[in-house]
Structure 1
Amino acid sequence: MFLKRSRFEKRRKEATADWPHSKIPQVTLGNDCQIAAREKKLKGCWQSGTETELGVLVDTLLTDHVENSAAVTQELGARVALCCLSGLADLLQRDYIERLKQKVSSDGEEEAKKALASLDRVVKGGNEMLTQRLLEELKPNFSKLLKSKWLQNKEIFESITTIIKKHFNQFRKMKSPPYQDLANGIHRKVVTEYVRAVVQTRVVCSSADMRMKVAGQLTQESVELREMFASLNSSASWLDTAIEHLAEIISLKDTSSIQMEVGALADSYPDVRKEHIEALLNIRGDISHQNRQNILETLRDFNGNNGGSTLSRNRALFAEIDATPVVQCANLNMSCALRCFSVFRRCSVRVR
C-alpha cells in the first residue's frame, strides 16, 4: 500500500520524463531512515492494538503520499488519492475487523460493529465521490432531454448510456458489497435526473401524434436503462417502472385511464406530488381545466388513503425533484393573460 522512496522517485521520473527539468517539482518523502522508522512504528501499533496512535500514523502516511503526488501533477494526486481510499477500505475490511473479532472476546461484537461502521463511512464517502464525478459528466446530456432536438437525435440518450458504461468498466473491479451499493445508488440518481428532465421540460405536445412519439421514446429509453442497469447488477428494480408510468400518463387518451395510471404511479412512488402530475398534464397540452381537477383529485384521494404510510429515504424518487410551475392562461381576458405571461417569464428565469 505504501510506496518506498525509491519506487516513488522512479514513478515520478517516468511520469515527468518529457518535462523540462526546471519545471519538475522537487518532492521529498523524507530519507530512508525516516520512512523505515515510521513504518516500523506503524507495525508496532498494529501488533500492540493502540488504534488511536495507529489512526494518526495511517493518516500521516496517506496525507504524505497524496500531497507529494499532487505536487507532481493534479492528475497523479487524484489517482493516488483513489488508491489510498481503496487501500484504506481493504485495510479495514480484511485486517482490522478480523483482528478485533479474534482479539476481543466478551465485547467482540460491539467492537466489530464500530469497525464496520468505520468501514461503512469510508465506502459511503468513496461511492458518493465516484457517483458525483459520473453525474458531472452526465449533466450536459441530461439537460438536452425532452428539448426540441431530442425526438430526432438518438445520440443524446446514447451518450448517457455510453458514459455510464465507461465508468462501470472501472467500478466492476470493486468488491461485491461496495459495488452493489454504488450500482444501486447510481441507478437511482440516473432515473431521478431523467424524471427531473421530464417534469421540468417546457415541451407541450401540439397533437395526439406528438404525444405518442414523446411517450414512445420515453418508454424505449426506460427499457434501455432497465436492461443496462440489470447487466450492471443493480438490484434497485423498484426504479424500473417510473419513466414508463410518466409515458403512459402522457399517451393515454381518456381521462379515466389517466386517473388509473396516476393511481398506479402514486402506489409505486408515494412521494409523487401534485406539481409533478400537473407538469405531465401540461406536456400533453390537451387536458381541460375540469379534467385536470378530476385527475388531481385522484392523487389527493390516494394520498389521503395512504397518509399514514412511511417511505424509506432509500426508496424516495420524486421527493428530490421540483417540477416546473404550471401556469394556466386559457379563457382569460388580455390583461389577465399579460399578468400570467409576466409570471411565466419570472418562473423561466428562476428555473434557468
Structure 2
Amino acid sequence: MLKMMTFFQGLPGERPVPGAVDFPRSPQKLPSTSEGESEASMSEASSEDLVPSPETGAALERDEERAAKKEKKKKSKGLSSMLKVFKGRRKKGQPSSVEPEAEPNASPGLDSRLPTVEELKVDLEHGRLEAARPLLALERELLETAAAGRLSDQELVRRQSKVEALYALLRDQVLGVLRRPLEAAPEQLRQALAVVAEQELEDRQVAAGPGGSALAPTRPRHWLQLWRRGVTQAAEERLSQPVATGAEGPSAAERTFLHMGRTMKEDLEAVVERLKPLFPAEFHVVAAYAESYHQYFAAQLAAMAQFELCERDTYMLLVWVQNLYPNDIINSPKLAGELQGIRLGSLLPPKQIRLLEATFLSNEVANVKELMARALELESQRWAQDVPPQRLDGHCHSELAIDVIQIVSQSQAKAESITSDLGVQIRQVLLLELAGFLRSYQRAFDDFLERYKQLKNYRANVIANINNCLSFRASVEQRWQTLQDTHSHLLVPLNEIKTHGFDSLLQNLFLDLKPLFKRFTQTRWSAPVEILEEILATVSERLPEFSELQDSVRKELMEAVHLHLVKEYIIRLSKRRLILKTAEQQQQLARHILSNADLIHCFCTQNGSSANWLSLALPRLAEIICLQDLNAIKIEVATYVTWYPDFSKGHLNAILAIKGNLSSSEVRSIRSILDINTGPHESTHPLFSLIRISWFFLPWSHWWVNR
C-alpha cells in the first residue's frame, strides 16, 4: 500500500520545506470590515485631521520632543510604563487634540491624563501594541462626550475620524503580527492576541448596550473575523506555491497534491505544537487553520475532478481523497486528537467519489485484460518460433504464470490502496477476467499441441506449460481459496492443460506399450509375468524424459502411468477369449492377477505414484474370479461397486464370462446387484469409464448375457 512517507519525500528540484510553518513573508494588505471603511481609515491616518489646531501647536511640539527623548532613552514599552511617563506630563490648561470631558472609567489603572492622538500615532507606527488600551479609552471617552452632547456634530466627526485612523494603524499592526505568528516574538504575539480579544469583548459590550449616537457606527469591528480571513489567505498562499517540474517521475498534478498534502501536514503540526499554547481558547486556532487548509485542498480537487482525467490522475485523486488525506494527515499521530472534533469531512462529495471509483474500476479491468492478452500472445509466439523455454533449477520454466498473476495482483493492490471495499469490488471482476484468460490459454495450448509436434523444442515447451499450471494453481489456491465456486471454475482450464500435456508427453510411451499388452491375449496365463516385467522395464527406460517436470507434477504424471497400466490390464483381461470351467483354473488365474497387481503397484509407487485408490482394482477382480459361492460373489460385486462406482454391467459381464461354470440364471442374479440404487455413482477417480466394453469382447459362448 502506498505510504504517506513516500509521498512526502522531497521531489527532484523542489525547495525543501522547513520543519516550522513557513508562512508568507511578503506582507499584504488585510481586508477591513468593508472597503469603504478601510479606505477612509487609512486616509484619516495621513490627512491634516491629525495636525493639531494652531492654539495647541506649541504644546504638541513639546509633546513630540518629549516623545523623541523617550525613544532615545529606550524606556519600557509596557502599558503601565507608558502611562507613568504620561502622568503629570501636561501642564494645567495645556490644550490637546482630544480633550476628554470626564475621567475614563473603562481602563483600570489608567491615569487621569490620556496620551494625545499624535503620541498614540507615533507608538503605533513603531509597533507598540501597548497603545491599544489608551486608544480604547479615547474611544470610550468620545462616546461619553457624544452622549453628553457637549460638542458639535462637526467636532465629534473630526475627533472620531482621528480615532478611527488610529484604529486602522492598530489593526494593521495587530493583524500583521498574527499573519506571521511564528516569526513574531512570543510576547509580541501575546499582546496582539490580547488586543483582538479585547476588541471582540468591546464589540459584544457595544452590541448589548443602548444604541443611538451622533457618531457614525464603527462597531462591531470583527477583528477576529479579519484574523480568520488572514488565516485563509495564508493557507491559500502556502498551498498554491509553485512546485518544481521534472522531466521524469510524478505528473504535474501528482507533484501539486503531494506538495499540498505535505505542506498541510507540516503546517498543522506546527500550529498544534507552537501556536496552540499561545492562542486563547476562543480563537480555536487549530480549527481555523485546519478548516482553511481543508477548504483550499478540497476546492483544488473539486476543480480537477470537473475535467476528463487520465487513468493516472483518476487513481491519484482517489488515493488522496480516500486514503492519504484521511489516514496519513487527518488521523496522523500528531493531529488525530486535535482534529477529531472538527469534522472536516471528505475532500469530495460522495457522488463524485462513486463516479471516480466506477471510472477507476473500468480502467483497471480493461488494462488487466489487455496486459494478460498481450502476455499470452508473446508466449504463443515463442512456442511457434521453437524458442526453448528457460531452465530453472533443472526444470523447464515459463514466466507466463508469474506475469499474469503479477498483473492481477498489482491491480487489486491498487484498488486496496484506495479502500478495502474497492479492493473487494475489483477482486470479483478480476477473477472473472482471470477465468476468461485461462480458457484462452487452454485453447492456445491445445492449438500448439496439435500443430507443432514436429518442432525441436516441442516437448520442452509442453513440460514448461505443465509446470506453469502448477504456478497458476498455487496462486489461485493461496489468494482465492475462500471462493470455492470461483476456485473450481479457475482450475478447470488448468486441469485440461495438464491432462492434455500429459497425453502428449505419454503418447509415444503408450504406443510402445500397446503391442506388449496385446501379448497378454496371445499367450497362456501361465507366463504373463515375463510380459509384465518387460512392460515395466520399458516404462522405467522412458521415465528420465520427464525429469524436467516439477517434482509434484512428475508424481501426477506417474499416477497417469499407473492408471494406464491398470486400465490396459483390465482391458486385456476382459478381451481374453478364455473360459475357465473349473474352480482350480479360476483360482490359478486369480493368483496370476494378484502377482501382476502387486508388481504394478510396487513399481508405480516406488517411482512417485500416490494413486492408492488403484490398489484394489485388480486384486478384487481376482477375488470375484476366484470365489465359487454365489452369495459370496454377490457380496464381493456389491463391495467392488462402492470402491469403483463406474463399474458397469458390461464390465461385470466381461469378468463373469471367464467363469465358465456359472449358469445364465446365476449370471443374471449376480448382475442384479448392480440394479440396486445405492446413491450417486459418480467416481472421483474414473477408471472403468475409461474402458469401453463391447459385446465382441466376450467369448462367443456368453454373448447372449448382454442381451
TM-score, normalised with respect to structure 1: 0.65
1:94 deviates by: 4.2
Structure 2 CA distance for aligned equivalents of residues 124 and 279 of structure 1: 29
Distance 1:63-1:243 versus aligned 2 partners, 3 A rule:
same
Which one of the candidate residues 524, 548, 554 is aligned to 1:179? 554
Matched residue, 2:693: 323
Structure 1 CA distance for aligned equivalents of residues 652 and 599 of structure 2: 24
Q: Does 1:59 align with 2:434?
A: no
**What is the 5 A alignment of 1:325-344?**
325=695, 326=698, 329=701
Matched residue, 2:511: 136
Asked if the contact 1:187/1:229 (under 8 Å) is kept, the reply is: yes
Distance 1:329-1:190 versus aligned 2 partners, 3 A rule:
closer
Distance 1:53-1:92 versus aligned 2 partners, 3 A rule:
closer
Asked if the contact 1:263/1:298 (under 8 Å) is kept, the reply is: yes
Structure 1 CA distance for aligned equivalents of residues 661 and 390 of structure 2: 52
Structure 2 CA distance for aligned equivalents of residues 153 and 225 of structure 1: 13
**What is the 5 A alignment of 1:105-144?**
105=413, 106=423, 107=426, 110=431, 118=441, 119=469, 120=494, 122-144=497-519
Distance 1:246-1:122 versus aligned 2 partners, 3 A rule:
closer
1:203 is paired with a residue whose SS is coil
Unaligned runs of 5+ in 2: 1-369, 414-422, 442-468, 470-493
Matched residue, 2:523: 148
1:129 deviates by: 0.7
1:199-257 deviations in whole A, cap 9, x for unaligned? 12211124333222211111111111111221122222111101111111111122122
1:146 deviates by: 4.3
Asked if the contact 2:571/2:691 (under 8 Å) is kept, the reply is: yes
1:168 deviates by: 2.4
Distance 1:329-1:180 versus aligned 2 partners, 3 A rule:
closer
1:283 is paired with a residue whose SS is coil
Distance 1:82-1:262 versus aligned 2 partners, 3 A rule:
farther
Distance 1:266-1:115 versus aligned 2 partners, 3 A rule:
same
**What is the 5 A alignment of 1:35-74?**
50-65=371-386
Which one of the candidate residues 677, 684, 688 is aligned to 1:305? 677
Q: Looking at both structures, which has the greater relative contact order when contacts are Cα pairs under 8 Å and sequence separation is at least 6?
A: 1
| Larger-Rg structure | 2
Deviates more, 1:230-239 or 1:210-219: 230-239
Asked if the contact 2:578/2:658 (under 8 Å) is kept, the reply is: yes
Distance 1:150-1:50 versus aligned 2 partners, 3 A rule:
same
Matched residue, 2:400: 92
Distance 1:147-1:261 versus aligned 2 partners, 3 A rule:
farther
Asked if the contact 1:96/1:115 (under 8 Å) is kept, the reply is: no
**What is the 5 A alignment of 1:159-308?**
159-300=534-675, 304-306=676-678, 308=679
Distance 1:124-1:114 versus aligned 2 partners, 3 A rule:
farther
Amino acid at match of 1:60: Q
Distance 1:156-1:329 versus aligned 2 partners, 3 A rule:
closer
The total of aligned residue pairs comes to 263
Amino acid at match of 2:565: V
Structure 1 CA distance for aligned equivalents of residues 559 and 671 of structure 2: 31
Asked if the contact 1:200/1:324 (under 8 Å) is kept, the reply is: no
TM-score, normalised with respect to structure 2: 0.34
1:295-334 deviations in whole A, cap 9, x for unaligned? 222232xxx232x41414x52211232335346759xxxx
Amino acid at match of 1:311: E
Matched residue, 2:409: 101
Distance 1:283-1:81 versus aligned 2 partners, 3 A rule:
farther
Distance 1:329-1:151 versus aligned 2 partners, 3 A rule:
closer
1:185-209 deviations in whole A, cap 9, x for unaligned? 2322221121111112211124333
Distance 1:144-1:103 versus aligned 2 partners, 3 A rule:
same
Quote the RMSD (CA, aligned, Å).
Answer: 3.1
Structure 2 CA distance for aligned equivalents of residues 293 and 201 of structure 1: 21
Matched residue, 1:347: none
2:658 is paired with a residue whose SS is helix
Deviates more, 1:223-232 or 1:118-127: 118-127
